[in-house]
């Protein structure tokens, strides 16, 4: 099936580049472009694209305001393409909360056009499969309203979590349920740099655990969550009884940097049966092989089920490989992490 896409960006150059590059993919047809949300509104109704690729910073109406209107009156999958800046990261998170399926960085000094358009094409095709519901305007949930689990004793278990498309909301659901003495948690969420810093800061404000972007040699200890910085791999290392994080560059692995497979395989090697592995919603198959390796080294493993996944890609591949001990809806995963950290089956 060919995915019909529309590109909305105030830059004629960006529109031209994206149309040219996306048109190389035989599974994508760019049916139209628009320089601002007002033009886009009319074209969307007329052309009925399957997916909209949307810039955030535009004249007349910003992309997030337009996105909120779309989600309320004409919901359809939207992939945000944002500037690679700290401000762009914060705005991208707002866009995800407003209903965007995924975010990407614009072509720039750090990323070539070729680098991002292959990934963008993948995101567009994944987004086309997402059922987007009408999103009414609602006040943000307060951190105090979250029901948190309790852990009967402090444990030196290591929890490794991987996610991609749909993962920002899934991770928020998991982490806000964690008690302050939760096991040390390492996370790979497929996001560009700057975006992960903003994401970690946002979660830190909502959670009982401390959430931050990982730095090299950060200790992995109870009550701390370390998120892989965008464009860097995150690995677990061990020195004696001490676990710590390693953050490094290197080639793309499973088409990603950071890669869930890189994290999971390091956890398999250095934590073994002292670990819990979790694979959440996301496109592709990154993390499946690593989760299987964790299981083979004695770790307990969890995969999100299809019904609760935004994109049932990564969990599906892991399940098909036999890598998951438990397959369950997102709402049950925090409790299972705590059970397994307490030594239950």
Task: Give catalytic residue positions.
Answer: 164, 190, 286
Task: Tell me the H-state helices in 58-213.
Answer: 63-73, 86-98, 113-127, 167-176, 195-206
Question: Measured between alpha carbons, how far is 177 from 119 in angstroms, rounded to an integer?
Answer: 32
Residue 7 CB partners (closer than 8 Å, separation 6+) = 15, 18, 19, 22, 30, 32, 33, 34, 53
Which residues on neighbouring strands pair with residue 276, listed in sequence order?
159, 300
How far CA 36 is from CA of 26, 181, 341, in Å, comes to 27, 47, 50
CA 3 – CA 64 distance, rounded (Å):
23
Tell me whether residue 343 is exposed, middle or buried, using C-beta atoms within 10 angstroms of its C-beta: 0 to 12, 13 to 18, 19 or more.
exposed
CA distance 139 to 343: 38
Q: Strand, coil or helix: what is 276? A: strand
Query: What are the φ/ψ torsions at residue 31 (nearest 5 degrees)?
Result: -90, -10
* Rg of the chain taking only CA atoms, in angstroms: 20
Query: CA-CA distances (angstroms) from residue 131 to 38, 51, 66?
Result: 24, 11, 19
Pairing label, strands 28-34, 3-8? parallel
61 CB-side CA count, 13 A = 18
């Amino acid at each position: 099936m060919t995915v019909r896409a529309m590109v909305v960006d105030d830059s004629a150059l960006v529109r031209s580049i994206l149309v040219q590059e996306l048109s190389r993919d035989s599974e994508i047809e760019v049916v139209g472009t628009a320089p601002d949300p007002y033009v886009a509104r009319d074209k969307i109704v007329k052309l009925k694209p399957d997916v909209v690729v949307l810039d955030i910073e535009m004249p007349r109406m910003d992309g997030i305001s337009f996105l909120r209107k779309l989600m309320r009156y004409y919901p359809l999958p939207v992939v945000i393409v944002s500037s690679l800046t700290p401000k762009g990261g914060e705005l991208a998170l707002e866009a995800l909360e407003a209903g965007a399926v995924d975010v990407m960085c614009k072509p720039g000094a750090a990323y070539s056009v070729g680098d991002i358009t292959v990934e963008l094409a993948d995101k567009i095709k994944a987004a086309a499969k997402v059922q987007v519901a009408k999103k009414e305007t609602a006040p943000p949930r307060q951190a105090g309203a979250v029901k948190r689990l309790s852990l009967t004793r402090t444990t030196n278990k290591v929890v490794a979590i991987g996610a991609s498309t749909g993962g920002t909301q899934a991770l928020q659901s998991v982490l806000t349920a964690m008690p302050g003495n939760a096991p040390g948690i390492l996370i790979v969420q497929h996001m560009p740099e700057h975006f992960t810093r903003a994401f970690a800061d946002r979660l830190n404000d909502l959670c009982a655990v401390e959430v931050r972007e990982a730095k090299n040699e950060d200790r992995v200890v109870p009550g701390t969550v370390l998120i892989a910085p965008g464009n860097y791999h995150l690995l677990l290392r061990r020195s004696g009884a001490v676990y710590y994080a390693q953050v490094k560059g290197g080639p793309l692995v499973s088409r990603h940097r950071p890669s869930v497979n890189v994290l999971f395989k390091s956890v398999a090697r250095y934590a073994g049966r002292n670990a819990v592995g979790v694979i959440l919603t996301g496109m592709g198959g990154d993390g499946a092989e690593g989760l299987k390796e964790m299981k083979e080294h004695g770790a307990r493993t969890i995969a999100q089920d299809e019904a609760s996944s935004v994109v049932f890609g990564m969990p599906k591949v892991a399940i098909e490989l036999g890598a998951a001990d438990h397959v369950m809806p997102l709402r049950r995963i925090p409790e299972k992490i705590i059970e397994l950290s307490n030594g239950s089956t």
